[in-house]
Amino acid sequence: MKNNVIFFLGLASALAISWAGIVLGSNAQLGSLAPFYDDSEGAAFPARMAGAAAQGQLVYRDMGCASCHTQQVRRPGFGVDKERGWGDRQSVARDYIYQPAPQLGLSRVGPDLANLADRKPSALDASDLLHLLYAGAPGMPTYRFLFETRTLGVGAQPSEKALKLVGALEPKAGTEVVPTPEAESLVAYLLSLKNPYTYPEAVPFTPPAGEGEKEGAK
């Protein structure tokens, strides 16, 4: 390699090729993805995120929750995501179009959260989630800095938001534990995590009956 110009042009074009291929290619395919309008339901999916939930997504990101939790359900047959109750269908690109900071995640130290608010038979509600954040769980740290311990004035009523803690976690008499605004928006976000609608592209391909029989006979 004796020619400087050709060398650096080569480097620049190699970078340009991989950028154009991967980044521009997927942008051309997905960049203009629109919500899906269902005539029979008279509504478009996915729904826009509520303001509190969008704020909560930023709290989720700032705490680094994605270092232990994914938010992408793999298709039935590829892993056991469905059997674990994480979702009946695979996640598709359309699920994320309204999310300001999608948190797909790379690690499952904890469970997938893509459909956290839609667990069957019963999903966690706000007070369960706040308790989980305050108390932690096996393998999950506590997030007590998202809560505030306040002293109750003489004769004052406890706050409606105060956590109902029992046993070792119970606050001292005359004090109460209330969630900070960050904790509240994080919970609002977690409660917004559900993808109830099945888009056409999320339905797995089923081979025609004839082929299926042949494979079964093998």
Partner 1 sequence: MTMKSEYSPTDAASRWPLMLLIISGASWLVLAGVFALISSIQLHTPSFMALCPVFTYGRGVAIAETAFVYGWLANAGLALALWVLMRLSGEPLRAQNWALGGWTFWNLGVLGAIIGLGLGDLTGFELLELPGYIQLILFFSYAAIAIPGLLAWSGRLRRVSFASHWYAAAALFLFPWLLSIVHVMLFSAPVRGVLQPIVAGWYAQSVWTLVLAPLALSIAYFVVPKVTGKVLPSYEFASLGFWCLILVGGLTGGRHLVGGPVPAWIASVAVVSCALLFFHTFVVLLNLRGAFTAPGVAVKFIAFGVAAYVLGAVFDTVTSFHVVAVQTQFTYFDEAQKQLALYGAATTILFGGIYFAVPRITGKAWLSPLLVRGHLMLSLLGIMLLVISLCAAGATQSHDLLDAKVPFATITAHTRDSLVGVTAAELILLLGNICFLANFYGTACEILKISSPATFSPSSAMETPAS
Nearer to partner 1, 46 or 176 (CB): 46
State in angstroms the smallest separation of the CB of 92 from partner 1. 5
- Find the shortest distance in angstroms from Cβ 36 to partner 1: 14
Q: Which is nearer to partner 1, 12 or 43 (CB)?
A: 12
**Distance separating alpha carbons of residues 91 and 33, to the nearest angstrom:** 15
Largest CA distance in the chain: 86
Q: Could you tell me the smallest distance in angstroms from the CB atom of residue 211 to partner 1?
A: 20
Residues contacting residue 17 through CB under 8 Å, at least 6 positions apart: none
Q: What angle do CA 125, 127, 131 make, to 5 degrees?
A: 120
Binding site for partner 1 (CB under 8 A): 1-2, 4, 7-8, 10-12, 14-15, 17-19, 21-23, 26-27, 29-31, 33, 61-68, 70, 72, 74-75, 78-80, 83-84, 90-93, 95-111, 136-145
Q: Which CB, 105 or 179, lies closer to partner 1? A: 105
CA neighbours within 13 Å on the CB side: how many for 20? 6
**184 Cβ neighbours under 8 A, 6+ residues apart:** 52, 161
